[in-house]
Amino acid sequence: MLLDLDPHCVNVGGNWRMQWLINNPNPFAVGVNWTLTDGQNGAAVLAPGSNNITTSELGTWTMDATWLGGGFGTLTSTITNCEGPDRGGGEIFGGPGPVIPVTGKDLLVQTMLPYGGTLLVGIALLVKGLNGKNKK
């Protein structure tokens, strides 16, 4: 699952601020928890499409986001001037499974391991129940 973090300039009451958006290109809603290095944090259920998250002062900030299924991402963005070429931009983070943004290591196998064990226990209980039913 991909999410697109998009900080850009917005004028709020005559003052330029960074508007933090998370775009959800998926055809379903995604629950997200987020923190911003200016001290803000929150949780939201993101509908498909563009979702306003928060605004911050101009400067350099990092947003961390986590979502259901073990996905997570981080983006550091600097916007110091909203009237020139430095207007910010977005970056895609996430992927088919949890990915560590710095190393790019794919953790899909480690994430799925507990589900595989649960599946095997379920199959074992089903076989045991069927064998017990056949003996009667």
What is the full per-residue pLDDT of the chain (136 aa) written as tens digits? 578 788 888 888 888 888 898 888 888 898 999 999 999 999 999 999 999 999 999 999 999 998 877 788 888 888 888 875 444 444 333 333 333 343 344 445 555 556 666 777 778 888 888 887 666 5
Same domain, 121 and 101: no
Predicted local distance difference test score (pLDDT) of residue 110: 52
Same domain, 69 and 119: no
Same domain, 45 and 112: no
Helix (H, G, I), strand (E, B) or coil at 59: strand
Predicted local distance difference test score (pLDDT) of residue 99: 37
Predicted local distance difference test score (pLDDT) of residue 122: 77
Same domain, 91 and 122: no
Helix (H, G, I), strand (E, B) or coil at 39: coil
Same domain, 27 and 83: yes
Helix (H, G, I), strand (E, B) or coil at 27: coil
For the chain, how many structural domains are there in total? Answer: 2
DSSP state of 64: E
Which tokens sit at 65?
């986001």
Same domain, 82 and 115: no
- Round to whole Å and give the CA distance between 116 and 113: 5
Same domain, 34 and 51: yes
Place of tokens 């004028």: 11
Sorted by sequence, the CB contacts under 8 Å of residue 99 that are 6+ apart come out as 105, 106, 107
| Total-model pTM | 0.59
Same domain, 45 and 101: yes
Residue 118's domain comprises 106-136
Helix (H, G, I), strand (E, B) or coil at 61: strand
Same domain, 15 and 56: yes
Which tokens sit at 48?
């498909």
DSSP state of 47: P
